[in-house]
Amino acid sequence: MMHGPYPLQALHSFKLPAFAAGYIQLHCLRDIADFCATVDLKRTHFYILGGGSNTLFVRDFPGYILHVQLPGIEVIAEKRYKVLVKAAAGVPWHQLVLFCTARGYGGIENLSFIPGTVGGAPIQNIGAYGVELKEVVDTIEAIVLATGEKVVFKAEACGFGYRTSFFKTKWQNQYLITSLTLALYKEAKYTIEYEAIQVMLAQMGVKRLSFQAISDAIIAIRKQKLPDPAVLGNAGSFFHHPLVSIAHYQWLKQQYPSLVAFCTQDQDQIKVSAAWLIEAAGFKGVRIGHAGVYPLHALILVNYGGATGQDIINLATQIVQKVKRQFHITLVPEVNIVGATMGQYTHGNGITSV
């Protein structure tokens, strides 16, 4: 356990300057138990950090950063068509994807190259290219931070929704996820409805589909579209794709025929592309000081070097205001914003305020 000020700039992908009052690495379950026994968490600020790929520190953090680094991946059961794979919370997510695709296990290949760790994946219910994590979760193991007790959750108990779960909402800061067990398959079931995947598979000359081939295609697509956080600080998609009523969508489509949207399981709603909204509002490639909107993907806000958390918030606020005025849609951040004072977003719809 280290006492601050402890620098956080290298621990999150935005690479913004911030310090924490305390910092502890959690390498095993005993580390977690010792921390829970020594620190009164009811009276202490804390933030659970994995890969730091979905976090924006706006200012110094007045409590402990709990840096989860629990290691290990194992196959715990395998049958002819099904397999259970368990991974510890500190494993990089993409490492788990590579482990599974190399063995012919399907279900998460469309989630290739997503940054962050296994422990953060169910909190956000990560998703990409027509697949969400909730579709393959079997169980989640966690520690009750108030007591140090171990608990196991079945997938249906976790309140999974679009980029959310109970761990992000009503259970926030109550549990520390320690591992995730996925129910994967070995059958030739593929999700390649997205045109970008089909185009990339064709460009790569893939004649026979496989989980590995789809994973390779997704990696290639993401490398083309997304900035490398090691080179340009960012946290991937900054905003959720908003859900709107069919009537609202039809109204917008009449005015903006190029509007991009995606069908959902709810027949009364449709998901509108946040990237399209931001670009149509004139922000793609815009740079204000050291903060900007990535020129190749409008959904990504970037730190060009020297930006502060408040610089990113100020840019995000301008985007939200313009999109709301122009399209009557309120964008909600997907990134966990720590220590923010962003007006209407600081209470319950997308931002963690401490």
Q: Which residues contact 327 (CB under 8 A, 6 or more apart)?
A: 252, 277, 280, 281
pLDDT over 90 (residue 9): yes
- Per the model's pLDDT, the better-predicted residue between 165 and 37 turns out to be 165
Q: What are phi and psi of 225, to 5 degrees?
A: -90, -30
Given 13, 53, 163, 179, the catalytic residue = 163
pLDDT at position 340: 66
Q: What are phi and psi of 287, to 5 degrees?
A: -125, 130
What is the Cα Rg of the chain in Å?
20
pLDDT category at 44 given cuts 50, 70, 90 is confident
Question: CA-CA-CA-CA torsion for 311, 313, 317, 318, nearest 10 degrees?
Answer: 20
Domain 73-185 maps to which CATH number in 3.30.720.120, 3.30.1490.390, 3.40.50.720, 3.30.465.10? 3.30.465.10
pLDDT over 80 (residue 325): yes
pLDDT at position 348: 32
pLDDT digits (tens, 9 = 90+) for 171-220: 999 999 999 999 999 999 999 999 999 999 999 999 999 999 999 999 99
Return mean pLDDT, the chain.
92
pLDDT digits (tens, 9 = 90+) for 254-307: 999 999 998 887 788 999 999 999 999 999 999 999 999 999 999 999 999 999
pLDDT category at 4 given cuts 50, 70, 90 is low
User: Cα dihedral sign for 40, 45, 48, 51?
Assistant: negative
pLDDT category at 43 given cuts 50, 70, 90 is confident
Q: So where are the chain's domains?
A: 73-185, 233-346
For the chain, percent of residues with pLDDT exceeding 70: 95
pLDDT at position 350: 33
Write the class of the CATH domain 233-346.
alpha beta
Q: Two tokens at 334?
A: 């997907």
334 is an active site residue: yes
Of 65, 166, 72, the closest CA to residue 117 belongs to 72
Shared fold status for 73-185 and 233-346: no
Mean pLDDT, rounded, for 314-327:
97
Check if the beta carbon of residue 88 is closer than 8 Å to that of residue 78.
no
Given 141, 179, 237, 279, the catalytic residue = 237
pLDDT at position 347: 32
pLDDT over 50 (residue 354): no
pLDDT over 70 (residue 87): yes
103 is an active site residue: no
- Per the model's pLDDT, the better-predicted residue between 148 and 312 turns out to be 312
163 is an active site residue: yes
Given 109, 141, 279, 334, the catalytic residue = 334
pLDDT at position 345: 41
pLDDT over 90 (residue 83): yes
Cα(66)–Cα(212) distance, rounded to whole angstroms? 34
